[in-house]
Amino acid sequence: MKLPFFALVKRNLDIKASTRSSAVLRIGLVFLAWSCFADRLIVYRTFQNPDWFFLGILFFIFSGMLCIGWRTKFSNIGFAFILNIMVFYLGVRDKYYPFTTFPGTLIALSITWLCFLPSGKSFSLDKYIAKSKFKNQNNIFHREIGQVWALNLIKVQVAVVYFFAAIDKSYLGFNERLEQILQSAYFGSYLPWEGLRFIIFLISVLTVLILYLLTFGLFIKNWHRWLMPIGIIFHVFIYLLLPVTTFSLTMILLYISFLDPKDVHYFFKRI
């Protein structure tokens, strides 16, 4: 029984592939982190609080380095460390929005898993510097190949988010809860049309079904052609109707971890 288990572990921890998908995740997550946190960390808002001021300066330094891919591993670890302090300690202590929200936590954790990916081997200043030093085109750095096993960590994170979201909504009264949310946001105390109740009921049922489908279906490569567009439309729908901030865009970006790195590589090569 041990041999198949260790073979499975080894197979999932020894995955050499193109690093371009990791690089796209790196750049996208930095932009999402700026969108979610940057406005709250500018000097104007933090100069009276030494903790937030110091960490805010480090936030912009490390995120800038990570975005352009300069000393990528160092900047990634530093950026992840800063975000986790803000999200799991200072944000909770000071009840400082948006560091107490789930979208912020999702970004912080995703950047943490990014530390285990060789995202600096593609679309980065590190790659440009290495290329100028080593003219040998057969060098593995130039071929943008690395260990990308940590994409599995991001995949599991996405599946866990969908699974617990589905569990949270798997009860008979979810349509009433959704009705209350939409009434509060759009209609006030009464629905303008009774037929909306049935539409909201259908939306609630479809929401739960889609969440369960995404939980397990994203791991099936043959389903990507139709399931990923459904997931993207689902998140765009949520983004337009409810104030979910960066959550929808973060989940859509993380779909890249489910794509074959080889396919991502040749997609960017073609364009």
What tens digit of pLDDT does each residue of 121-160 get? Answer: 999 999 998 888 776 555 554 578 999 999 999 999 999 9
Least confident of 8-17, 119-128, 187-196: 8-17
Query: Greater confidence, 167 or 192?
Result: 167
SS3 at position 166: helix
SS3 at position 146: strand
What pTM value is reported for the model? 0.92
Beta bridge partners of 17: 146
Residue type, 114: L
Query: Greater confidence, 3 or 60?
Result: 60
Instruction: State the pLDDT at residue 182.
Output: 86
Residue 12 has pLDDT above 80, yes or no: no
Average pLDDT value for the chain = 91
Q: Give per-residue pLDDT as tens, 240-267.
A: 999 898 999 999 999 999 999 999 999 9
Structure tokens at 34: 């700026």
Instruction: State the pLDDT at residue 130.
Output: 86
6: confidence class by pLDDT, cuts 50, 70, 90 = low
Instruction: State the pLDDT at residue 1.
Output: 47
Closest CA relative to residue 183, chosen from 169, 173, 193, 171: 193
Pairwise CA distance, residues 232 & 251, whole Å: 9
SS3 at position 69: coil
Instruction: State the pLDDT at residue 261.
Output: 95
In the chain, where are the structural domains located?
A: 16-270
